[in-house]
Amino acid sequence: MKTQVCIIGGGPSGLMLSQLLHLKGIDTIVLERQSREYVLGRIRAGVLEHGFAALMREAQCGERMDKEGEIHDGFIIAHDGKMDRVDLHKYSGGSSVVVYGQTELTRDLYEARDRMKGVVIHNAEDVQPHDLKSANPYVTYRNGDEVVRIDCDFVIGADGFHGVSRKSIPRDVLKEYEKLYPFGWLGVLSRTKPVSPELIYAKHERGFALCSLRSQVLSRYYIQVPLTDTVEDWSDEAFWAELKRRLPAEVAAKLITGASIEKSIAPLRSFVAEPMRYGNLFLAGDAAHIVPPTGARGLNSAASDIYYLYHAMVAHYQNGDSTGLDKYSEKALARVWKAQRFSWWMTTMLHTFPDSIAYDQKLQDTDLAYLFSSEKALGSLAENYVGLPF
């Protein structure tokens, strides 16, 4: 097989890039290791910055998001018995975020790819990029006993944190920066009315908690748990009881509980791989960087990678201009690191660290006190949360 751009990974990053390039007449093939049902079964992001929403519209995939997604102009931080609101709209100069699940937007992207007869190959086993430094790279995968070869101009590594693309960059070229946090998030999805119309990030000495939602009938809640905990350790009853303990009394009293329809634990990690280009391989999204979910930045960091790559590829194919491709890694990493800083800061301010000393706790309290006493500090939080410009 032959294509212009071979994309490894059929998550939101890979599908979005494939769709955008297709609309500009650039041919792609997407190779996804899992089945479509599996990809759509993963419950992940819920908050989209306006830049991501704009890309969805440009990809002609924004219709359902604009109809069913909710615009959120603010969120609450509960701490020290107070419920302080961050007015995103006011402090970001009129911007907001969209609450629309990653599952739904991935479904929309798959449907668009099908509609336009895009090639997305599922259950592609042993995907392997080759000859990345040459002008004729290729990718192989296994379909049962058959090994299939795809010749291409460029390979995009959009295969998430555990993918093969980053690992195909030689060790002496790649530099990895990583920070592991000593806890994870236990998440529960339930078909219940959300406790609050806006998200509540709750700091509590027993551990952080988050009240989020997917729609007015679908709630998503998280609690901080030790890394040693497993999903089996947490019955639905135990989860709801612990969540209630960490929420302000008036919120806990209103919480509607129900059976969980999904329950999973995600460890918290900050990670960046540099550079994001190796020869004709370009990394994008979680393949190159991971943030703890506290600042809702993960998918949104992927959005700027896709935006830069999309424009760079179009300039290359339409005008023979490769400046965008040459500058990709540097440009993408500049924004990636700002999202890293913001996610680390939100995580550090709101979680309970098992090894923290009294001094650290005082600083956390002071961070919150300063935040809610300074319009400039709120402005900084708001501009990062709604998304820095691409």
Binding partner of residue 297 among ligand PHB, ligand RFL, none, CB under 5 to 8 Å per kind? ligand RFL
Binding partner of residue 300 among ligand PHB, ligand RFL, none, CB under 5 to 8 Å per kind? ligand RFL
Binding partner of residue 302 among ligand RFL, ligand PHB, none, CB under 5 to 8 Å per kind? ligand RFL
Binding partner of residue 294 among ligand PHB, ligand RFL, none, CB under 5 to 8 Å per kind? ligand PHB
Binding partner of residue 10 among ligand RFL, ligand PHB, none, CB under 5 to 8 Å per kind? ligand RFL
CB 75 → ligand PHB: shortest distance, Å?
A: 8
CB 390, CB 335: distance < 8 Å: yes
CB 257, CB 239: distance < 8 Å: no
CB 17 → ligand PHB: shortest distance, Å?
A: 23
CB 42 → ligand RFL: shortest distance, Å?
A: 7
CB 265, CB 222: distance < 8 Å: no
Binding segment (CB under 6 A) for ligand RFL, from list 20-28, 67-75, 162-170, 176-184: 162-170
Q: What would the x/- binding string for ligand PHB be over residues 204 to 243, using CB under 6 A?
A: --------x-------x-----------------------
| Residue 86: strand pairing partners | 75
| Residue 8: strand pairing partners | 31, 157
Does residue 39 touch ligand RFL according to CB under 6 A? yes
| Both tokens assigned to 327 | 């500058």
Does residue 72 touch ligand RFL according to CB under 6 A? no
Instruction: Kindly report each contact of residues 34-37 with a partner whose C-beta sits within 8 Å and lies 24 or more positions away, as own/partner.
Output: 34/10, 34/122, 34/123, 35/122, 35/123, 36/10, 36/110, 36/122
The count of chain residues that interact with ligand PHB, using the rule CB under 6 A, is: 9
Distance CA 40, CA 2 (A): 28
Does residue 184 touch ligand PHB according to CB under 6 A? no
Binding segment (CB under 6 A) for ligand PHB, from list 26-34, 40-48, 307-315, 376-384: 40-48
Nearer to ligand PHB by C-beta: 106 or 294?
A: 294
Element holding 190 (H helix, E strand)? strand 175-190
| Both tokens assigned to 15 | 């599908």
Distance CA 302, CA 288 (A): 9
Characterize 93-131 residue by residue with b for buried, 16 or more Cβ atoms within 10 angstroms of its Cβ, and e for exposed. eebbbbbbbbbbbbbbbbebbeeeebbbbbebeebebee
How many Å separate Cα 153 from the centre of its chain? Answer: 27
Applying CB under 6 A, among 17, 46, 181, 190 the residue interacting with ligand RFL is 46
CB 165 → ligand RFL: shortest distance, Å?
A: 8
Query: DSSP string of 121-160?
Result: E-S-EEEEEE-TTSSS-EEEEEETTEEEEEE-SEEEE-S-
Q: What would the x/- binding string for ligand RFL be over residues 164 to 203, using CB under 6 A?
A: x--------------------x-x----------------
Interface positions with ligand PHB (CB under 6 A): 45-47, 199, 212, 220, 293-294, 296
